[in-house]
Amino acid sequence: MSTGKRVFSVVLSGLMILVLILSSACIMHEADHDCIGEGCSVCAHIAATLSFISSFALMTLVLFILSAHSADVRHRTFDAVPSHFRSAALVGWKVRLND
């Protein structure tokens, strides 16, 4: 992985964590508001934020499972290939290219 991709991944991960922390702080701040009953905009905002956090947690779990599965599949498929087929280059097969 190149350095640019690593930096982008770290920045994106940091932003996601920051969004989750700020969402949780918003919920904690507005948890004891003066509710006006049905149609309360603060309650709707809290419900939307909780829904976002729940979907984010589910998305993170799915991505973790997929990355672990793909790493396992790559590891197993490489080990299943016989060693004389791993190098697909002609040099690896010791082929002479005479004119």
Overall average pLDDT of the 90-99 stretch: 70
pLDDT band at 88 (very low <50, low <70, confident <90, very high): low
The closest of 7, 1, 18 to 56, measured between CA atoms, is: 18
Q: Tell me how far the alpha carbon of residue 36 is from its chain's centroid.
A: 39
Residue ranges covered by each domain of the chain? 1-31+39-66
Query: pLDDT tens-digit profile of 11-64?
Result: 988 888 898 888 889 888 888 888 888 888 888 888 888 888 888 888 888 888
**Any idea what DSSP says for residue 14?**
H
pLDDT at 76 over 70: no
Torsion over CA: 88, 89, 90, 92 (sign): negative
